[in-house]
Structure 1
C-alpha cells in the first residue's frame, strides 16, 4: 500500500522520499474502480491528517462497484482534476473465492445484456438513418417535380385542364407520401426514446439487485464465521478438561512411585 504523510508540513527531503515512493507504486493503484453511493461510508477521511501523495489533499471514502471488488470499501483520492490516483488503500479484504465467482457471473450477465441492447440500438439507428435517406431522396424528387411542373406551366400555358388536374393530383400524392414518411420517422424516434428510458430503469434495478445480493452473501458468510468461532470455543474447553485430567493422573502416579521407593 502507498504511504501517507502524517502532517501538513514536510521538508524537501520528505517530499523527495514521498515522490520516490509514489513513482515505485504499481500500476494497479492508478486504476480506480467504478463506485456506488453508500451513505454509511462516504465523504472525506477526517480521522487523521493523512493526505494523497500526489495532490496533498484529504482522501475520500468510496465503495467499489466493479467486478470481483463490488461492495468493497476503499480509500481513494477525492480530487477531480482528471488525474487518476487510483485505489490508495482497501478497507475490506478481498471477498471469498465463491463470492468472487458469483460477482463475476453477475457482471458477465450484466455486460452480455447491455451488449445485446447496444446491438439492437445500433440496428435501429441504421434503420432510422435509412428512412431519413429515403425521406431526403423523396424531398429532392418532390423539389425536382415542382421545378418540372413550373417549367411545364411556362412552356404549355394552353394545356388542357385535365392534364393540369392530373399533375396537381400527382403533386398532392407526393406531398401526402412525404407527410406519411415524416410522421413515421417521428413515431420511430419517440419509440426509441421510450425504449432508452425503459433500459435505463432496468440498469438501475440491476445495480440495486447486485448490491442487495452482495450484502446478503456477506451476511451469510458472517453467520458461518460465528458458528466456527463457537465450535472453536467448545473444542478449547474439551482440550482444557483433558489437560486437567492428565495432570491429575500424573500426580497419582508420582505418589505410587514414592510409596514403592519407600518399601
Structure 2
C-alpha cells in the first residue's frame, strides 16, 4: 500500500519513499469505482499528507465495486489518480457473508446489463436492415420515375387508362415509402425511450445496492450488540455458581472438623 509522506520531510526521505514506491507490484495501483457520499467526501484536511506521485493532498472516497462496495478509503484526488490505487482503507473488510451477498448482487447486475446490451444489438441490426430496405425502395422509386418520364416522352398518345395505372403504381410506391419512413421513425423513438428507461433502472439498481449494503451493516451491528449482552449474562451466571461453590466448600470443611474432634 503506498505511503503518504509529510510535506516537511527532507529530500532524502522523499528518495526513500520513491524507491519503495517503484518496487511495488502494479496490482496495488488499481483504484476501485466510487460513488458520491456527502458524509465522506472532499480532501483530507486532518493531516498534511500528500500523494507520492502527484504531490497533491489526498481525497476521501467510497468504493462502489465488488466486495468492497460501501467501504471508505483515502485515495489520490487528481484526475489520473486511478493509477495510485487505494492508498488507505478507512473501513475494515466486510464480513464474509456480506461479501458473498455483494458478489451475488453485482453478478445479477452485470447479467442484466449483458442482456440489455444483447437486446440493443439485435434492435440496432433490425433498424439497420430497415434503413437498407428503405434505401433500396428509394432507388427503385427514382428508377421508376425515370422510366415514367421516358414513357411520357416516347408515348404521348398512350391511353388514359394506362396513364392511370402508371400513376397508381407511383402512388403506391410513394405510400409504401412513406409507411417505411414512419415505421423507421417510430422504431428510433422507441429505442430512445427504451435507453432512457434502462438508464433509470441502472441508477435505481445502484441506489438499491447502497441501501441494501447499509441495511446489512446495521443488522450485523445489532447481532454483535446482542452477543455482547448474552456474554455478560453468562459471565454473571458463572460468577454466581462460583460463589455458591465456595459456600458449600466452607460447610464441608466445618463438618470435617467436627468429625475429627469426635
Question: Which residue in the other structure is 2:142 paired with?
Answer: 143
State the partner residue of 1:4. Answer: 4
Instruction: Give the Cα separation in 2 of the matches to 1:6 and 1:157.
Output: 97
Look up the match of 1:216. 215
Shift of 1:248: 9.4
Q: Decide whether aligned partners of structure 1 residues 181 and 53 sit closer, same or farther in structure 2, where only a CA change above 3 A counts.
A: same
Count of aligned positions: 254
Question: Retained in 2: the 8 A contact 1:29–1:88?
Answer: no
The verdict on how the C-alpha distance between 1:242 and 1:52 changes in structure 2, with shifts beyond 3 A counting, is: farther
Q: CA deviation at 1:10?
A: 4.4
- Give CA deviations for 1:205-248 in whole Å, capped at 9, x if unaligned: 11111111111110111112222333444455566677888999
Contact 1:32–1:84 (8 Å) recurs in 2: yes
Once the two structures are TM-superposed, the CA of residue 29 in structure 1 deviates from its matched residue by 2.6
Counterpart for residue 257 of structure 1: none
TM-score by length of 2: 0.87
1:1-263 matches, within 5 Å, as 1-7=1-7, 9-81=8-80, 84-236=83-235
C-alpha distance in structure 2 between counterparts of 1:108 and 1:149, whole Å: 61
- For 1:38 and 1:71, the matched residues in 2 are separated by 9
Taking the aligned partners of 1:204 and 1:104, their CA distance within structure 2 comes to 18
TM-score (norm 1): 0.87
Task: Give the 3-state SS of the residue equivalent to 2:88 in structure 1.
Answer: strand
Distance 1:179 1:219, change over 3 A: same
- Match of 1:84, SS state, is helix
Compared with structure 1, are the counterparts of its residues 58 and 250 closer, same or farther at alpha carbon in structure 2 (3 Å cutoff)?
farther
Aligned-residue Cα RMSD (Å) equals: 2.6
Query: Aligned partners of 1:189, 1:25: CA distance in 2, in Å?
Result: 51
146-155 or 237-246: bigger deviation: 237-246
Query: SS of 1:38's equivalent?
Result: coil
**Counterparts of 2:114 and 2:249, CA distance in 1:** 74
CA distance in 2, matches of 1:28, 1:246: 60
Query: Which segment drifts farther, 37-46 or 83-92?
Result: 83-92
Partners of 2:29 and 2:82 within 8 A in 1:
no
More deviation, 79-88/139-148: 79-88
Superposition deviation, residue 249 in structure 1: 10
Aligned partners of 2:66, 2:44: CA distance in 1, in Å? 25
**How far apart are the structure 1 equivalents of 2:173 and 2:247?**
112
* Alpha-carbon distance in structure 1 between the residues aligned to 2:148 and 2:43: 74
Gaps of 5+ in 1: 253-263
Q: Deviations along 1:168-190, whole A, 9 cap, x unmatched?
A: 21111111100000000000111
